[in-house]
């Protein structure tokens, strides 16, 4: 098979996406398939493997010549449903969630609303629209973050009210709409879910992230190799079951496809959803591949499962 692997993107997660795309391309080659690398520059220009700039028509032509597309894109103009919509309209099978799930997962406020409808707890929060003043009443400590975005860009913990305005300004550098949430004291435990070609939900191992009290799992720790992971998470059977049930319910309700990662805080009162990532990091050392390797599904085989599920799925609006 020929697999188009799309990396880069016009956002602040460009470099992270390039790493994911390189990992996926390597796995595709290990599987004996052909990897067709396409990159989206910071300015939105599409380029082929040799770095040659492509017109939109030529990019679609290359994508259409492949059996499956794998968008290894993170952030806006990528995992928010933008590329999913393009591929869907062109009738190209692709790995990952469709427009609706990507858009909801990218918007942390909308994710909270869906979670609330399912009875999944989230942190109390206040949404600040782009034109709203940087004034909010929230017990401290509080977490300030862009309502859209990832890689912990623009995220900070505020313990002094005098620092709140600066924290909101920092968050707005990564997204005009800002979410201010209560700081949840608990252990950060994540889990990943995908639907295989037979239609069954497959869940990886729980993964606990070692985060110091009062801190957040920041961008540096995510990508410099210093992150402390424990697989499976050292939680009770009841906590494990609650996380798995909540993640599965969210995956179904959001109508996700491909693999999605669900991040929780395990508290004395039960799990609290932090956020949903419908296009998680996909290098071999990223959290999601580690989760599935821990349950006997190595990285290349995980990619194979995701590709096969996309290949057998019928693109929306395309006649059989």
What is the model's pLDDT at position 258? 97
Gap between the Cα atoms of 204 and 193, Å rounded = 7
How many CA atoms lie within 13 Å of 163's alpha carbon, on the beta-carbon side? Answer: 11
Torsion of CA 166, 167, 172, 177, to 10 degrees: -120
Contact between 290 and 233 under an 8 Å Cβ cutoff? The reply is no
> How does residue 320 score in pLDDT terms, banded at 50, 70 and 90?
very low
Contact between 232 and 220 under an 8 Å Cβ cutoff? The reply is no
Cα 249 to the center of its chain, rounded Å: 17
User: Does pLDDT of 318 surpass 50?
Assistant: no
Q: Which of 165, 182, 199 is the last residue of a domain?
A: 182
Backbone angles phi and psi of 107, in degrees to 5: -100, 105
Average pLDDT on 167-189 reads: 92
Contact between 40 and 46 under an 8 Å Cβ cutoff? The reply is yes
Instruction: Name 239's Cβ contacts closer than 8 Å, sequence gap at least 6.
Output: 189, 266, 270, 271
- One domain, residues 71 and 162: no
Within a domain: residue 317?
A: no
Within a domain: residue 320?
A: no
Average pLDDT on 118-134 reads: 91
Number of Cβ within a 10 Å radius of residue 172:
17
> Which strand ranges, in their side-by-side order, compose the sheet holding 34-40?
53-54, 46-47, 34-40, 2-8, 68-71
Please report which residue ranges of the chain form alpha helices under DSSP H: 14-30, 56-64, 82-89, 99-106, 108-118, 164-172, 219-223, 237-253, 287-293, 299-312
> How does residue 174 score in pLDDT terms, banded at 50, 70 and 90?
confident
User: Does pLDDT of 66 surpass 90?
Assistant: yes
Cα 185 to the center of its chain, rounded Å: 23
What is the model's pLDDT at position 138? 85
- One domain, residues 145 and 168: yes
- One domain, residues 114 and 255: yes
Cα 176 to the center of its chain, rounded Å: 20
Gap between the Cα atoms of 54 and 108, Å rounded = 33
- One domain, residues 171 and 208: no
Average pLDDT on 126-150 reads: 86
| Structural domain boundaries enclosing 32 | 2-96
Average pLDDT on 283-296 reads: 97
Hey, what are 12's tokens?
């602040």
Judge if the upstream peptide bond of residue 141 is cis by omega within 30 degrees of 0: yes
- One domain, residues 74 and 189: no
CATH of the domain at 156: 3.30.1490.20
198: left (phi over 0), alpha (psi -120 to 50) or beta: alpha
CATH of the domain at 8: 3.40.50.20
- One domain, residues 114 and 151: no
User: Does pLDDT of 132 surpass 90?
Assistant: no
Within a domain: residue 319?
A: no
Q: Which of 79, 96, 113 is the last residue of a domain?
A: 96
Q: Percent of the chain beyond pLDDT 90?
A: 81
User: Does pLDDT of 24 surpass 80?
Assistant: yes
Mean pLDDT across the chain: 91
Contact between 21 and 47 under an 8 Å Cβ cutoff? The reply is no
Q: Does residue 162 sit in helix, strand or coil?
A: helix
User: Does pLDDT of 46 surpass 70?
Assistant: yes
* Alpha-carbon distance values, 242 to 66, 105, 289 (Å): 40, 20, 22
Within a domain: residue 216?
A: yes
Contact between 79 and 11 under an 8 Å Cβ cutoff? The reply is no
- One domain, residues 306 and 236: yes
- One domain, residues 149 and 75: no
* Residue range 245-257, pLDDT digits in tens: 999 999 999 999 9
Gap between the Cα atoms of 26 and 24, Å rounded = 5
User: Does pLDDT of 218 surpass 60?
Assistant: no
- Of residues 85 and 175, more confidence is placed in 85
User: Does pLDDT of 201 surpass 90?
Assistant: yes
Hey, what are 233's tokens?
């998470």
User: Does pLDDT of 317 surpass 50?
Assistant: no
Q: Does residue 54 sit in helix, strand or coil?
A: strand
Within a domain: residue 28?
A: yes
Within a domain: residue 318?
A: no
Domains of the chain: total: 3
């Amino acid at each position: 098979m020929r697999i188009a692997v799309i990396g880069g993107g016009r956002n602040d997660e460009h470099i992270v996406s390039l790493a994911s795309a390189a990992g996926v391309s390597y796995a595709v080659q290990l599987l004996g398939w052909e990897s067709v690398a396409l990159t989206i520059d910071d300015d939105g220009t599409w380029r082929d493997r040799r770095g040659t700039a492509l017109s939109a028509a030529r990019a679609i032509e290359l994508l259409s010549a492949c059996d499956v597309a794998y968008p290894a894109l993170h952030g806006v103009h990528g995992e928010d449903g933008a590329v999913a919509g393009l591929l869907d309209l062109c009738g190209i099978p692709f790995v990952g969630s469709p427009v609706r799930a990507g858009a909801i997962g990218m918007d942390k406020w909308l994710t909270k609303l869906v979670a609330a409808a399912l009875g999944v707890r989230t942190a109390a929060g206040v949404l600040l629209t782009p034109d709203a003043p940087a004034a909010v009443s929230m017990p401290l400590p509080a977490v300030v973050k862009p309502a859209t975005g990832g890689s912990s860009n623009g995220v900070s913990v505020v313990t002094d009210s005098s620092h709140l305005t600066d924290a909101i300004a920092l968050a707005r550098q990564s997204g005009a709409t800002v979410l201010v949430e209560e700081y949840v004291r608990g252990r950060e435990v994540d889990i990943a879910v995908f639907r295989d070609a037979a239609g069954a939900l497959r869940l990886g191992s729980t993964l606990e992230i070692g985060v110091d009290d009062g801190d957040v799992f920041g961008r540096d720790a995510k990508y410099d190799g210093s992150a402390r992971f424990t697989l499976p998470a050292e939680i009770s059977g009841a906590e494990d079951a609650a996380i798995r049930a909540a993640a599965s319910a969210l995956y179904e309700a959001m109508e996700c496809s491909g693999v999605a990662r669900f991040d929780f805080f395990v508290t004395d009162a039960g799990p609290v959803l932090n956020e949903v990532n419908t296009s998680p990091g996909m290098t071999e050392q990223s959290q999601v591949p580690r989760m599935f390797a821990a349950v006997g599904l190595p990285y290349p085989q995980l990619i194979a499962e995701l590709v096969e599920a996309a290949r057998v799925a019928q693109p929306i609006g395309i006649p059989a």
